[in-house]
């Protein structure tokens, strides 16, 4: 009986060694990339050095995407978050990394069955009348199967892949080394970015935490009279929840895209986007405990037309001070008020008071009228090279820039909401997507003296 386990352990060890060599190769390539950058910065004019670095960086990003798509683990999540850091990476690199998708080939049912029975300490038949061998979905950390409990209730069973925890910890170790080595090339605090990603991944690998997060979000949604009948959160079946197995209510439904396409009406996506954005901004602005991953794969439309949130692995809690600072930051951005923008960053703990002049100059660049009130088509046609160069130039003047805990994931959620809106309701501008909700969530700021 021990031979299969021993063989499996040996294979897993060999896989980890192979992965370590792959990661070391990526790290060496990245080091060489930045070594060449330092040499070029000394030998070439700034435009030529920047162009050469951008070209090399895109090649590296292309290779990273290929390796991450093949090897999975934490590499996909790291790349997805890195794609949002336009303050750190050239725009072309961010575009390349944004192609990463958290979709993988599923593991065999035999592997999944062994993991379930190990976690529940009993044969699968003891708990389930039926259990579908083919998964409903498979991602980088685990996969979901449809099943029927012994009493007849349909459930979705999420199972963490065997051995994935060791794989992710290895990825994070190499990422930590890489971020430590590269922290000197940017004003951004990459160590904090690493901690955000690390903590998020470790939470995602603890399904008991995910179950608790789902229940807290369900309570928050139920507390809002407008949302409780429009947003659905699956119930948790706690007797069959462990760190590596999560059993929840099964919700049958259509994907957002399928639902919108079935309406055959140009504006069919607008009301869907409205209520998704309303629900997520409610979590982000009012409750402070929010879902960090509002992408189409985590949302369904059920048979009654309600929007169902079906995955809660990525979640974060903000302190009231940080939440208030971010709320004020959005209000300042909407008003294009450089002074108020600077104050919001101080309130959120992102910069110190000595950086006020630099922050106001940064805001003046960010609030350039040429980049406001554009349609997605107009927005996509802009050349952001000069704009990002100006933003980075002002960022370099900041001496106290710091991202408080939760801010990286908050901005990730905000960015994903805008992306979702553009996909489901083409032609809508960011102001169209966010504008209807801002009077509610920014009422206190609107009442404050200008």
Say what angle helices 74-82 and 46-71 make with each other, to 10 degrees: 150
Pairing of strands 253-255, 289-291: unpaired
Say what angle helices 164-182 and 2-43 make with each other, to 10 degrees: 20
CA–CA distances in Å: residue 175 to residues 72, 76, 224, 387:
14, 12, 40, 29
- Residue 256 has, within 13 A of its CA and on its CB side, a CA count of 24
CA distance 284 to 377: 28
CB 130 within 8 A of CB 99: no
Question: Which tokens hold the place of 346?
Answer: 């101080």
Residue entry with tokens 């002002």: 394
Q: Which residues contact 101 (CB under 8 A, 6 or more apart)?
A: 69, 76
Told to judge if 41 belongs to the known catalytic residues of this protein, a careful annotator would answer no
Strand partners, 316: 290
First to last CA, the chain: 73
CA distance 126 to 363: 61
Catalytic choice (293, 311, 324, 355): 293
Quickly count helices (H) and strands (E) in the chain.
Answer: 19, 11
Question: Which tokens hold the place of 417?
Answer: 């909401």
SS (H, E, C) 137-148: EECCCEEEEEEE
CB 413 within 8 A of CB 419: no
The four Cα atoms 124, 128, 133, 139 give a dihedral, to 10 degrees, of: -90
CB 343 within 8 A of CB 329: no
Question: Which tokens hold the place of 394?
Answer: 């002002």
* Residues assigned a catalytic role: 293
């Amino acid at each position: 009986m021990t031979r299969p386990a021993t063989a499996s352990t040996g294979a897993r060890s060999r896989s980890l060694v192979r992965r370590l060599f792959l990661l070391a190769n990526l790290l060496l390539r990245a080091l060489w990339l930045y070594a060449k950058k330092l040499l070029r910065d000394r030998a070439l004019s700034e435009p030529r050095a920047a162009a050469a670095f951008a070209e090399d960086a895109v090649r590296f990003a292309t290779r990273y995407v290929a390796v991450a798509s093949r090897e999975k683990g934490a590499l996909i999540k790291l790349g997805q978050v890195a794609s949002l850091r336009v303050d750190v990476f050239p725009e072309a690199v961010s575009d390349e990394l944004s192609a990463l998708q958290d979709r993988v080939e599923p593991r065999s049912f035999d592997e999944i069955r062994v993991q379930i029975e190990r976690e529940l300490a009993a044969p699968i038949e003891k708990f389930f009348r039926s259990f579908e061998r083919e998964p409903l979905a498979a991602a980088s950390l685990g996969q979901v199967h449809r099943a029927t409990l012994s009493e007849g209730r349909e459930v979705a069973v999420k199972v963490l892949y065997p051995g994935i925890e060791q794989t992710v910890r290895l990825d994070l170790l190499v990422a930590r080394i890489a971020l430590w080595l590269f922290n000197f090339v940017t004003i951004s605090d990459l160590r904090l970015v690493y901690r955000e990603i690390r903590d998020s991944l470790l939470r995602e690998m603890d399904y008991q935490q995910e179950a608790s997060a789902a229940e807290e979000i369900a309570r928050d949604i139920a507390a809002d009279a407008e949302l409780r009948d429009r947003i659905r959160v699956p119930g948790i079946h706690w007797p069959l929840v462990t760190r590596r197995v999560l059993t929840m209510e099964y919700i049958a439904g259509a994907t957002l895209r399928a639902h919108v396409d079935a309406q055959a009406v140009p504006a069919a996506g607008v009301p869907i986007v409205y209520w998704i954005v309303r629900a997520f901004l409610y979590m982000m602005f009012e409750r402070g405990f929010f879902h960090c991953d509002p992408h189409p794969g985590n949302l369904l439309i059920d048979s009654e037309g309600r929007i169902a949130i079906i995955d809660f692995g990525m979640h974060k809690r903000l302190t009231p001070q940080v939440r208030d600072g971010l709320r004020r930051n959005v209000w300042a951005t909407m008003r294009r008020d450089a002074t108020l923008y600077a104050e919001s960053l101080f309130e959120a703990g992102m910069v110190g008071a000595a950086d006020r002049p630099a922050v106001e100059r940064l805001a003046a660049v960010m609030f350039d009228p040429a980049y406001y009130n554009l349609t997605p088509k107009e927005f996509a046609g802009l050349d952001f090279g000069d704009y990002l160069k100006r933003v980075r130039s002002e960022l370099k003047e900041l001496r106290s820039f710091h991202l408080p805990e939760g801010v990286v994931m908050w901005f990730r959620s905000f960015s994903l909401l805008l992306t979702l809106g553009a996909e489901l309701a083409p032609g809508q501008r960011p102001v169209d997507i966010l504008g209807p909700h801002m009077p509610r969530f920014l009422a206190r700021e609107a009442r404050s003296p200008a």
